Amino acid sequence: MDIRLGHGYDVHAFEEGDHVILCGVRVPHSRKLKGHSDADVGMHALTDAIYGALAEGDIGRHFPPSDPQWKGAASEIFLDHAAKLAEARGFRIGNVDVTLICEWPKIGPHASAMAQELARIIGLEPGRISVKATTSERLGFTGREEGIAAIATATLIAE
Ligand SMILES: Nc1ccn([C@@H]2O[C@H](COP(=O)(O)O)[C@@H](O)[C@H]2O)c(=O)n1
Ligand SMILES: C[C@@]1(CO)OP(=O)(O)OP(=O)(O)OC[C@H]1O
């Protein structure tokens, strides 16, 4: 049996707007996240976790920010690519765990919808998907509400 662990980390800054997209869920907020794509920081961290477990580089290698094709793209495209790459290499995803770091918006009320959305994209039962959040106690750039950070881990298993 081949068991792999990967981790991912991403940050996106806030800009003027009225909602954020986190783990595929549109959450009303006083600002939006800035990015070349839809800036779904949670989905980017999870995508990198899967690429990491496969030793397949990072999201920017597969989807260069310099490529206009990905401007405004739904981050589901990136996560789907990573999950299909894992499958093509003979791996199934064991579990995933995403932590969103922000003061606002509050993630708790949306965590279940986010887990369901990730489940749909990567084809994994929701019980193997964790989405959670923490503040940084008002410290640092997330504490000053300048942006949102996300950390993710994923396990991949080949029998
Ligand atoms: N954006 C956030 C941040 C936190 N939560 C929930 O609040 C709990 C306490 O956060 P602390 O940073 O004070 O430890 C945390 O465990 C989450 O349940 C949230 O929903 N959204
Ligand atoms: C997702 C990509 C796609 O161009 O762009 P961004 O939305 O800016 O996201 P980031 O995590 O900064 O970089 C990775 C890029 O691959």
Residues 63-96: pLDDT tens digits? 999 999 999 999 999 999 999 999 999 999 999 9
60 lines ligand 2 (CB under 6 A): yes
102 CA to centre of ligand 1 in angstroms: 8
Any ligand 2 atom below 6 A from CB of 76: no
Can you give the pLDDT at residue 45? 98
| Ligand 1 binding pocket, CB closer than 6 Å | 102, 106-108, 133-135
65 CA: nearest ligand 2 atom: 4
Q: Which two tokens stand for residue 157?
A: 């298993």
Q: Where are the beta strands (DSSP E) in 17-146?
A: 19-22, 25-28, 31-33, 92-101, 129-134
Query: Closest residue (by CA) to atom 12 of ligand 2?
Result: 35
Distance CA 14, CA 27 (A): 14
Q: How many Å lie between the centroid of ligand 2 and the Cα of residue 71?
A: 9
Q: 49 and 153 in contact (C-beta within 8 Å)? A: yes
* Per-residue confidence (pLDDT) for residue 68, from 0 to 100: 94
Give the mean pLDDT of 4-13: 98
% helix, strand, coil for the chain, step of 5: 35, 35, 30
Token pair of 55, please? 């030793």
Residue 79 has a pLDDT of: 98
Q: Cα(139) to centroid of ligand 1, in Å?
A: 14
pLDDT per position as a tens digit, 89-125 = 999 999 999 999 999 999 999 999 999 999 999 999 9
Using an 8 Å Cβ cutoff, are 154 and 53 in contact?
yes
Contact 103, 142 (CB under 8 A): yes
Report the residue among 15, 34, 36, 50 best suited for mutation to probe ligand 2: largest number of ligand atoms under 8 A from its CB.
Answer: 36
Q: What is the 133 CA–ligand 1 centroid distance (Å)?
A: 5
At 47 the pLDDT is 98
Q: How confident is the model at residue 147 (pLDDT cuts 50, 70, 90)?
A: very high
